[in-house]
Amino acid sequence: MSYAPVLAAAFVLWPIMGLLGGQGYAPLLGLAALPALALARPKGPPALYVVPAVLFVIWVVVGEVLWSPVSNELVSGSLLEGNFAVKATSLRTFLTAAFAMLAVGGALRIADGSAQVSTRVMLGAFAVQGLILAATSIFSGPLLEAVYGPDPTEQMSGVQNMGRNANAFALILPILIAYLSARPQFFWKPVVALLVVASLLFFTRIDTQSAMIGLVFMMAAMGLVQALPKFGFRILFTCIGAYIASAPMLIGTVLKLLEAYNVHLPGSFQSRAWAWHVVIEKIAERPFAGHGIAASKTWRETYADHPEWLARLPDTWTNYAVVPGHPHNMPLQIWAETGMIGAVLVGFSLVLLGFRLPDPAKMREDVRFAIAGVTGVAFSLFNFAYSMWNEAFWSSVALAVVAIILLAKRRRESL
């Protein structure tokens, strides 16, 4: 039995998990990965870029056990009672990384040309998610009231779920675009343009800035590998790795320039900028090892502690935490919670990945554009959306990588 149909079955559930707010992507990755042990067991030593990534995960576990102020019990609840949960953040991170390696390694062992039907099923599921996103964005008002009731507080949960669904669709949108762009008929060119414009409109209506910026990064990354057919991936991943390794300095410099020129950002971006100010100060306190995983949850500074910022806000913000649970910037969170050691390991892993990938010119057009586009969108979400320890997000990224591999296993001659 091939592993490809198992992955296709998992991707059938992709739009359902997105509609439910994206939290189901972590168990979905587990369900997709475990069959790889029997059907497509990865063999041989791991690629070189995996080594620093694994060391980073080990460092995360060490940090939570030894010095994190937020160290939880490993698990809670019971499977029989239906309330089982993995409480330790480091354990969730470890399991996500393990499942991701299994799924990616298994997908790489699928025979070329054996994923024709499975790829169609996967792309069909992605298209269904796009249709669901369109419907929920257009009819968001009535749908939110019907599902969550008239209470605006309850409806906020629905708004957040819609935003997460939009981010999940943005993550796989480059795969749809790459697949359709590579089709030889001219008919598909305006379809691709319409898909991009419609997605931007839906993201705007739902007001998910990270997905909107992701479209810009997607286009930039695709343009880079097109313009540099030999070194595109090396430059792309080296730049991202270098950015992570120097994030406090780079972001701190930008923040100082904004202050020097008295530049005021739009609401949510300004609040993020102030949070990043606080996080950079925390990084300076423990620059090498960090404060420990999830330490940012304990930073309870409020805007009352920063009257110069509060003066530009309504009084209702007085007791709001400047860092709302996490920095909404993963490079800074990596530095703050795992220190320079963690940041260098992550950055080095990405540089090695860029040099391990074949030259863009040696790849099929749809595959190279899919890799670049997914990287661009993921980079936006990496900077503006989620906590570094959000296993649902990283599971969705792992599944998007598996989707690219499945696309690559499909023969284009069958179009």
Phi-psi region of 82 (alpha: psi -120 to 50; beta: other; left: phi over 0): left
DSSP SS3 for 302: strand
Three-state SS at 372: helix
CA 402 to chain centre: 14
Token pair listed for 252: 């701190």
Residues whose CB falls within 8 Å of the CB of residue 38, separated by 6 or more in sequence, listed in order: none
pTM given for the model: 0.93
CB atoms within 10 A of CB 18: 29
How far are the Cα atoms of 23, 63, 307, 331, 346 from residue 57, in angstroms, in the given order? Answer: 21, 10, 39, 15, 10
Q: What is the chain's percent helix, strand, coil content, to nearest 5?
A: 70, 0, 25
Rounded CA-CA distance 35/27 in Å is: 13
- pLDDT in 10s for each residue of the chain, 415 residues: 689 999 999 999 999 999 988 889 999 999 999 999 887 666 777 789 999 999 999 999 888 888 888 765 555 555 555 555 556 788 899 999 999 999 999 999 999 988 899 999 999 999 999 999 999 999 988 888 888 888 777 788 888 999 999 999 999 999 999 999 988 888 888 999 999 999 999 999 998 999 999 999 999 999 999 999 999 999 999 999 999 999 999 999 999 999 888 888 877 788 899 999 999 999 999 999 999 988 999 998 999 898 888 888 888 888 899 998 899 999 999 999 999 999 999 999 999 999 999 999 999 999 999 999 999 999 999 999 899 999 999 999 999 999 999 999 988 654 4
The answer for residues whose C-beta is within 8 angstroms of residue 290's C-beta and 6 or more apart is 63, 283, 335, 336, 337, 338, 339, 341, 342
Cα distance between residue 7 and residue 17, in whole Å: 15
3-class secondary structure, 44: coil
Q: In whole angstroms, what is the distance from residue 336 CA to residue 383 CA?
A: 14
What are the backbone dihedrals phi and psi of residue 67, each rounded to the nearest 5 degrees, phi first? -140, 5
Q: What DSSP element (H or E) covers 371?
A: helix 365-384
How many degrees, rounded to 5, is the angle at CA 58 between CA 64 and CA 164? 70
**Which residue blocks in 109-186 are alpha helix, DSSP H?**
116-138, 140-148, 152-181
Coil/strand/helix, residue 76: strand
Give CA separation, 198 vs 131, 170, 202, 206, 410, in Å: 11, 12, 6, 12, 27
Question: DSSP label at 328?
Answer: S
Task: At 91, give phi and psi (nearest 5°).
Answer: -70, -40
- Alpha-carbon distance of 350 to 346, in angstroms, equals 6
Helix or strand or coil: residue 86?
Answer: strand
The alpha carbon torsion through 209, 211, 217, 221 (nearest 10 deg) reads 180
